[in-house]
Amino acid sequence: MARSAVVVDPEYLKHEPGEFHPERPERIRALLDLAEKLDKNRFQILPPKAASRSDVESCHGADYVKLVESTSKTNHYALDGDTITCRDSFGVGLLAVGGFLRLIDSIAAGESQNGFALVRPPGHHALKNRAMGFCLFNTIAIGAQHLKNAYDAKRVMIMDWDVHHGNGTQDSFYEDPSVLFISTHQFPYYPGTGAVNEVGLNAGEGYTINIPLPAGCGDAEYLRVFYDVVVPAAKKFAPEWILVSAGFDPHRRDPLGGMEVTEAGFAGMAGLLLELADRYTGGKIAFLLEGGYDLAALNHSVAAVLEVLQQNSGTMENAKSGGDRIEPLVHRILQVREKYR
């Protein structure tokens, strides 16, 4: 079995949004410690390289990129109330994007079986011309665009299991039928988007699937919607690539979320996505770190997903019968989906 790739680097520590900010450098420090202990026969560490300006501008406006670059001249700059940069943040943002692109290229070349980019800052809230929710550049959206531009990918699936809705990613492909965007998220919650009836527009109608879960959902509820909504939609789409916005803030220990997912739940979701990748993409699946703000939960959950990348044994069959409390929600989502089957 080919090794899985892990992108991680001490350079990601240099983004400093300020004292007491949840998206702190210690998040990467905890994962650097994890990476050092990985079995080198099963995992390879890939050093990132910075993305080019043209890479970033595939999903962001040139003026916005210049704005973020200009913050390199000041110790702290608030792009919005939650998204603060320091002198190193622009460079680290380019390295976050570049790290994910490096992972994609490694998988595309057959050098890695699959992989996980452990980078920061996160990206899925970033809009074309606006920073938002700790995010500077929308790394996963840029990754999907890279697949389309560099590898002529016709069907890219993005699964976002962060506790917050990936509004920036949704906006990037809302009218694009070549990208299937699926999001599980706590609702109502920041950023306020991601209702069931947000399904895409024009040619992209039906290629956005939102699964807005009530607070308190755990492994059974998440696996229920994976089995009943995510997997059937993925099978119909038959993706050539799967990209995963893997936020670990749905964990029961996370200070920002209100969910009850455990390490086993994340492993279960990852296992189902690996099975889809094996069936449709030739195994081409790349995970990207988004949120996750309890250090122990982050470390243990990432470790659980990495184990699945090598073992493909994280599915939880017993979860099929769980999640009864969200039965009405699942029914409503399937009703909305009916016209796109």
Contact 293, 249 (CB under 8 A): yes
In the numeric block, which tokens belong to residue 12? Answer: 């990601």
Cα distances from 40 to residues 2, 36, 144, in angstroms, run 11, 9, 28
Encoded tokens for 283: 């195994």
Which residue among the candidates 124, 125, 165, 185 is catalytic per the annotation? 125
Residue 213 makes CB contacts below 8 A (sequence gap 6+) with: 184, 185, 186, 187, 221, 222, 225, 259, 326, 329
- Rounded distance, CA 75 to CA 17, Å? 10
Write out the DSSP string of 35-47: HHTS-TTTEEEEP
Residues composing the chain: 341
Q: What radius of gyration, in Å, describes the C-alpha atoms of the chain?
A: 18
Q: Please provide residue 127's backbone torsions phi and psi, each rounded to the nearest 5 degrees.
A: -95, 175
Q: Is-catalytic flag, 125?
A: yes
β-pair type (115-117, 84-85): unpaired
- Non-local CB neighbours of 91 within 8 Å, separated by 6+ positions: 11, 14, 50, 72
Angle at 287 between CA 20 and CA 35, to 5 degrees: 65
List residues with catalytic annotation: 125
